[in-house]
Amino acid sequence: MPRDRFGREIDYLRISLTDRCNLRCVYCMPLGDLGFLPGPELLTPAEIEAVVRAAVAVGFRKFRLTGGEPTLRADLLEVVARITAVPGVGELAMTTNGILLPKLAAPLAAAGLSRVNVHLDSLDPVRLARVMRWGSLEAVWDGIAAAEDAGLVPIKLNTVIVRGYNEDDVVPLAALTRERDWHVRFIETMPLGIEEPGRVARDGLVTSAELRARIVAALGPLTALPSAASDESRNHRLDGARGVVGFISPVSEPYCGACNRMRLTADGRFHLCLLRDDELDVRAALRAGADLDAVGAILLRAVGDKPTGHALHAGRSTEDRQMFQIGG
Ligand code: SAM
């Protein structure tokens, strides 16, 4: 398994398929003309497969598709089928807003996708529309149901709470786990980029400690569950609940010491740390005819160069890219 210079085992590759999205969440994407990547700049399914083959050869085992919104890629099923056919790919998951899952969940499962994380910030249609700006609760909910019907389980919900938008939703969202065996994971807002979504994320931070206290006050005790060191979510269960309540706290309780991730942007850069700008271009090598050994060598260099952690505590984050351009 590849190790970085701090001894961390890095075996998890998160692959962004596009910078486009059919939502405009206030903490993630600005409104207006975003200058999306032109099609020829995106890695093709064959190029993505080549990176995955090279990654498996150097010891990567876990893969996830993300974006932007990965379901907007017209060739998504081909990408999934190519990746899951690579011997040694342990599991392929996808992070999505769920809106296109009613038509895609069954074919994705048939192509080999293991499961999905669906992003849902509120159970209140009006508040959700304020956060997402586009889309609707009904559309996301239908997507979650389709994923469950297609066996893309366990269903994990990614929830971002932003002060002034949806703090009151933490209790009903956590309460979902009483009846359903879903994982509801509350992610602290991370400021990326120098534009408005970064400011919303910075100013709207609600710490996991505050969310935990709100849940306990309304729903009773949360019992901590064992979790792997590399699992960024600290998992808990409400008394008698079927599902899991998780807290992902990159701002208030950073877990960089347990980071096991490398990211691949839609335009073919290894992005070394979500909250920094360091990148290594692999697309240029692929398009110059690099073989799998050469691609693996670039990936190992990217692993070796991973920074020790983010620098949010010092007021620094990415400047070149925003969340939708890296992939969360
Ligand atoms: N479009 C997909 C989705 O909505 O899940 C995948 C990409 S999105 C960037 C991945 C995850 O990042 C989502 O759960 C989203 O809520 C979360 N996210 C986006 N911006 C964030 C921010 N500034 N801080 C924390 N999480 C963020």
Beta strands in 61-182 (DSSP E): 62-66, 91-96, 115-119, 156-160
Cβ contacts of residue 260 below 8 Å, gap of 6+?
8, 9, 10, 11, 12, 62, 230
Shortest CA distance to 186 belongs to which of 176, 199, 200? 176
What one-letter code names the amino acid at 169?
Answer: D
pLDDT for res 124? 97
- Cα 323 to middle of ligand 1, angstroms: 7
Calculate helix-pair angle for 137-149, 101-111, nearest 10 degrees: 30
- Cα 244 to middle of ligand 1, angstroms: 20
Mean pLDDT per 10-residue segment, the chain (328 residues): 94 97 96 90 98 98 97 98 96 97 98 98 97 97 98 98 96 98 97 89 96 98 91 96 97 92 98 93 98 98 94 85 88
- Cα 141 to middle of ligand 1, angstroms: 17
CA 21, 27, 32, 38 torsion-angle sign: negative
* Ligand 1, CB cutoff 6 Å, lining residues: 21, 27-28, 66-67, 69, 95-97, 119, 158, 160, 187, 189-190, 192, 201, 323-324, 327-328
What one-letter code names the amino acid at 177?
Answer: T
Task: Tell me the CB-side half-sphere exposure of residue 94, using CA atoms within 13 A.
Answer: 32
Q: Which residues of 267-284 are buried (b: 16+ CB within 10 A; e: fewer)?
A: bbbbbbbbbbeebbebbe
Tell which atom from ligand 1 comes closest to the C-alpha of 201: 23
Identify the residue whose C-alpha is closest to ligand 1 atom 20: 28
Identify the residue whose C-alpha is closest to ligand 1 atom 5: 96
Distances (CA, A) of 52 to 3, 177, 261, 300: 18, 34, 14, 13
Tell which atom from ligand 1 comes closest to the C-alpha of 117: 5
What one-letter code names the amino acid at 67?
Answer: G
Cβ contacts of residue 297 below 8 Å, gap of 6+?
none
Q: Are strands 279-281 and 269-271 parallel, antiparallel or unpaired?
A: antiparallel
Shortest CA distance to 96 belongs to which of 18, 205, 211? 18
pLDDT for res 306? 96
Q: In terms of pTM, does the model score above 0.85?
A: yes
Q: Are strands 91-96 and 115-119 parallel, antiparallel or unpaired?
A: parallel
Residue with the two structure tokens 């208030």 = 252
- Cα 28 to middle of ligand 1, angstroms: 7
Q: What is the pLDDT of residues 193-244, one digit of tens each?
A: 888 899 999 999 999 999 999 999 999 999 999 988 878 999 999 999 999 9
- How far apart (Å, rounded) are the C-alpha atoms in residues 91 and 202? 33
- Cα 290 to middle of ligand 1, angstroms: 32
Shortest CA distance to 88 belongs to which of 57, 116, 115, 119? 57
Identify the residue whose C-alpha is closest to ligand 1 atom 25: 189
Q: Phi-psi category of 273—alpha, beta or left, where left has phi over 0 and alpha has psi -120 to 50?
A: beta
Backbone angles phi, psi at 318, to 5 degrees: -70, 150
Contact in structure between 287 and 161 (CB atoms under 8 Å): no
pLDDT for res 99? 98
- Cα 223 to middle of ligand 1, angstroms: 26
pLDDT for res 320? 84
pLDDT for res 34? 83
Kindly tell me the burial class for residue 59, based on how many C-beta atoms sit within 10 Å of its own C-beta (0-12, 13-18, 19 or more): middle
- How far apart (Å, rounded) are the C-alpha atoms in residues 20 and 72? 7
